[in-house]
């Protein structure tokens, strides 16, 4: 009997997209014959995931799950929006988020290798989901926080508990009253969903973004003396930070009376009975940054009619 090596299993996984344990079983059944193992998987309906793996997946769901001082967000993509209404897909996304929360996985790469309830790994559960649902599915990203304080969530266009199109978590670090912290964190999460800040503070902005803003300000004010231009750029950056930096943004939550997020935190320290700091926030909008395929439906129909 042939020895089933890890390299053989890897090769079969890459060519079929089937799960590791399924590949190992196929190779065992076929005495290590790769071609026969592919046929074995096809007969079992386990290799069809590979046919779909190249398709663009930009739809799906984002999930936000929180617990005592912890919270995670994940994005799992599908090819079509219809899949988001599929109960099996919703269960898959929610379970993956639960695994992220319980395991403390800090990234999608780390999360894929974590154990999935019922057997196998998260990666294998996704592969199984591809075979069952019939579309390419991908775990695109995952992240979270653990703090001494509170983590709250807000999910926009929610279609099921914790699942929707935009998911936000906000982590507040404080020894203060948990109820006050949880309420405040949720209010800030609602603001983040709407305002979409780029960073917590100016130091968190990409230096390239700041340089681009400086270049724009310089171009708009070309011809002015150097010392004047320097002040204009300095003032312009302060205005820019108020637009894109969370702590400098004016809260859009009605309970905060037009105060900045920094001022809101300071105001709530008295209610909480302790200093409050934002450890971080995560905002996942479904499919952002994915280049979606476009098609001309009329042209496709015409092409089909020509045979």
Task: Tell me which residue of 113, 147, 166, 152 sits closest to 286, measured CA to CA.
Answer: 166
Task: Tell me which residue of 156, 162, 48 sits closest to 96, measured CA to CA.
Answer: 162
- The 10s digit of each residue's pLDDT in 191-213 is 999 999 999 999 999 999 999 99
Task: Tell me which residue of 183, 173, 305, 188 sits closest to 250, measured CA to CA.
Answer: 188
- The 10s digit of each residue's pLDDT in 223-257 is 899 999 999 999 999 999 999 999 999 999 999 98
pTM over 0.85: no
Query: 10 Å Cβ neighbour count for 135?
Result: 21
128, 163 in Cβ contact below 8 A? no
Mean pLDDT estimate for the chain: 88
> What CATH superfamily classification does 59-195+270-285 receive?
Elongation factor Ts, dimerisation domain (3.30.479.20)
Query: How far, in Å, CA of 213 to CA of 300, rounded?
Result: 43
CA 98 from chain centre, in angstroms, equals 14
- The 10s digit of each residue's pLDDT in 275-289 is 999 999 999 999 888
63, 145 in Cβ contact below 8 A? no
**CATH for the stretch 6-52:** 1.10.8.10
pLDDT of residue 172: 98
Query: How far, in Å, CA of 266 to CA of 88, rounded?
Result: 44
Residues in a beta bridge with 199: 245
């Amino acid at each position: 009997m042939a020895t089933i090596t890890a390299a053989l299993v890897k090769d079969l996984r890459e060519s079929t997209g089937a799960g590791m344990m399924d590949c190992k079983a196929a190779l065992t059944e076929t005495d290590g014959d790769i071609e026969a193992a592919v046929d074995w998987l096809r007969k079992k309906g386990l290799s069809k995931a590979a046919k779909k793996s190249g398709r663009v997946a930009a739809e799906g769901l984002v999930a936000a799950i929180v617990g005592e001082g912890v919270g995670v967000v994940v994005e799992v993509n599908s090819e079509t929006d219809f899949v988001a209404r599929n109960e099996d897909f919703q269960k898959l996304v929610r379970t993956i988020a639960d695994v992220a929360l319980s395991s403390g996985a800090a990234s999608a790469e780390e999360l894929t290798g974590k154990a999935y309830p019922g057997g196998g790994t998260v990666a294998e559960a996704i592969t199984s989901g591809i075979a069952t649902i019939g579309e390419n599915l991908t775990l695109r990203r995952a992240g979270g926080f653990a703090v001494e304080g509170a983590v709250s969530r807000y999910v926009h266009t929610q279609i099921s508990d914790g699942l929707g199109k935009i998911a936000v978590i906000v982590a507040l670090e404080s020894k203060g009253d948990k109820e006050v912290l949880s309420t405040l964190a949720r209010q800030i999460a609602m603001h983040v969903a709407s305002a979409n800040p780029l960073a917590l503070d100016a130091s968190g902005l990409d230096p390239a973004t700041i340089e681009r803003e400086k270049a724009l300000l310089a171009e708009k004010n070309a011809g002015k003396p150097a010392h004047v231009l320097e002040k204009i750029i300095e003032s312009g950056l302060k205005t820019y930070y108020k637009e894109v930096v969370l702590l400098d943004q004016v809260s859009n939550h009605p309970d905060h009376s037009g105060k900045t997020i920094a001022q809101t935190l300071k105001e709530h320290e008295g209610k909480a009975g302790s200093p409050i700091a934002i450890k971080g926030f995560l905002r996942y909008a479904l499919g952002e940054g994915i280049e979606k395929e476009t098609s001309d439906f009329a042209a496709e129909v015409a092409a089909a009619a020509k045979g």
